Chain A
Amino acid sequence: MNLPSRLLQLLMVVLMVGGASYLMMQSLPGDAAWRIAAGRYGYDALDAAAAASVRAELGLEAQGGLHFLYWLGDILRLELGTSLISGESVWVEIRHQLGNSLSLAGAALGISLLIGPPLGLLAGLRAGGWLDRSLLAVCSLLRATPQFLLALVLILLISVEMGLLPAAGHGEPQHFILPAMTLALGLAAVSARLARDAMAAVTQTAFHDFARWKGLSNAQTFWRHGLRHVALPLVTYLGLQFVTLVEGVVVIESIFGWPGIGHALVHAIFSRDVPMVQGTALVLGVGFVLINLLVDLLGRQLDPRGVK
């Protein structure tokens, strides 16, 4: 995709998230003021006066026809409003959580790149060998395991049974290991298969054979004629991986109690904190488009032959 269509996509994402958030605000079941008051002051301190004060403060009464346009205007001016629960600005909350999520996602991506592609390359060089076949079996099993199930198994085995690592928490380096491993194993399963297929395809090409015939060593052939071809699908996949990562982050952060954007999103959904939902959704969607733009550019660098 080229730059203008990416920009259109960006605009469309903002429109869709804004529209969905507006619908969410309109269709909150029950009285939103009561819900928000319960979220702020706790169910014990909840009464009609608290709900009324919330209603007056947030202007929940006024819902005109132009309201939607104002709503979109706010988004385009990057006014995301304040969280209905904490009263903090959504930006402040998200900036805090996004950092946590990015460090977790980065760690997961790093681990998955260390595990997946190298194994895939080795398997692809000897397609049909024992490594290839066992890798296929392991990858298939991993892909059939939902991430939350993997998290469950890792928690039960490593932290509860062996007591090696903390099951939940945040702040210490050892808290990174389990959630990042959970995310990374799922990603590595796919990237290993991709690397394996790409490598196997490269070894069957005429230029690869020719490179071997003219006397290059295995390593030379790989560095000069193999790596770039293998890298292209992997880089393209990195962009798609971001979605898997984000989706994983929503579930994994909730399980491991990681104070990131996914955790915040689930809590915001729970307490119908629409500005927070809208803010997190916008950040995730826009982030995806931007990362894919980067991936497009990187792909152009790797394969300058031009797009059909």
Chain B
Amino acid sequence: MNQVVEGLAPQRVEAVRRPRLDWPLRRVIGAAMVASLVLLALLGNLVIPGDPLEQHLYRALQGADAVGVSDAGEVITSAPLGYDHLGRSLYHRLVAALGLSLSIAAGAVILAAFSGISLGLLAAGRGGWAERLLSLVADSLLALPGLLLVLMVSVILPSTPLALWLGLSLVLWVEFFRLARATGRSVLASPGVEASRLLGFGAWYRFRHHLWPEMAPVMMTAMAFGMANALMAIAALGFVHVGIPEPTPELGTMMVELLPYWREAPFALLTPVLVTFLLLLGLLLMSGSKARTSTAADTLEGARP
């Protein structure tokens, strides 16, 4: 964070700098992977309409059907990825599962980022008791494994998606809080912010023009990373049967449902696995995960001549 302060040399403060994210190839590829899966979740049902819960038992574990008319002459919705063990269209289950997981994860990340950043800046700005108390709560939450927190919230709250959303937000806000507090502390003490305040600019202006440009790249990384963690948690809970209850399609649940049939229908099992893997890989590529490497560099800072 020291570099951040040095970057704010007085002559550069006056210039309005836009938030800048650099987009190396890795990040572009990751963003493309995530964007295509988001598009699938959004538009999948419009391109090929269908019901993720509708059963065609006589087609259980069958491959894709090319025509929308069955042998008996009745019109059936086509299933481009084949059917699962209960004869439900894998494609539509996948689209529904993606939509559900993505919206829960995105909702959790947005709530966590909003509350984490506001509380972090509050702690950095106020200092004193407010900061100590908030940090204590954040540190104590860190001591409890995320999945455990989500599970406990899921017992308290009646609806599983709601519990997942709030539980995951409760886990994720800590990271945003810590980042915002660290950045806020150095930026709020900088001469640029002081000049802004003396010139009479309001809190929102100072946030928009001084704090956010410094925070944006780190926060974007944290958001992508938090999103990946949230998706992983949702799928993991589904996989051990404590996540979103059946028959609602969910990526982890789909995998565990299809596991017994993997020899007869390996492709059916492979679809949710591949989608989950690509989504997580894309998000991790987007995040760049440069944040972790800073610890090693910080340690050595004192040793440099």
Which A residues are within 8 Å of any B CB, using their own CB? 1, 5, 8-9, 12-13, 16-17, 20-21, 23-24, 27-29, 140-141, 143-149, 152, 156, 190, 193-194, 197-198, 201-202, 205-207, 229, 232-233, 236, 243, 246-247, 250-251, 254-255, 265-266, 269-270, 272, 274, 277, 280-281, 284-285, 288-289, 292, 303, 305
Contact = CB atoms under 8 A, between A and B. Distances in A.
Given A8-B136, A201-B300, A247-B145, A270 B232 contact: no
Of the listed residues A144, A202, A255, A266, the one surrounded by the most CB atoms of chain B closer than 10 A to its CB is: A144
Contacts of A207: 303
Nearest to B284: A144
B144 A233 contact: no
B140 interface: yes
A237 B102 CA distance: 29
Contacts of A251: 147, 236, 239-240
B139 to A, nearest CB: 5
A246 B157 CA distance: 23
Contacts of B281: 140-141, 144
Nearest to B154: A269
A229 B158 CA distance: 49
Contacts of A255: 239-240
**Tier of interface size on chain B:** 35 or more
Contact of A27 (B141, B151, B156, B235): B156
B148 A266 contact: no
B155 interface: yes
A215 B212 CA distance: 49
Of the listed residues B140, B146, B239, B305, the one surrounded by the most CB atoms of chain A closer than 10 A to its CB is: B140
B254 interface: no
Given A201-B297, A255-B240, 10 more contacts: A12-B140, A13-B143, A29-B158, A143-B289, A146-B232, A146-B280, A207-B303, A251-B240, A277-B152, A285-B140
Interface in B277-305: 277, 280-281, 284-285, 289, 292-293, 295-297, 299-300, 302-305
Given A201-B296, A250-B147, A269-B242, A156 B262 contact: yes
A285 B157 CA distance: 22
B141 A16 contact: yes
A250 B239 CA distance: 12
A24 B152 contact: yes
A27 B163 CA distance: 13
B263 to A, nearest CB: 9
B292 A193 contact: yes
Contacts of B296: 194, 197-198, 201, 233
Contacts of B221: none
B137 interface: yes
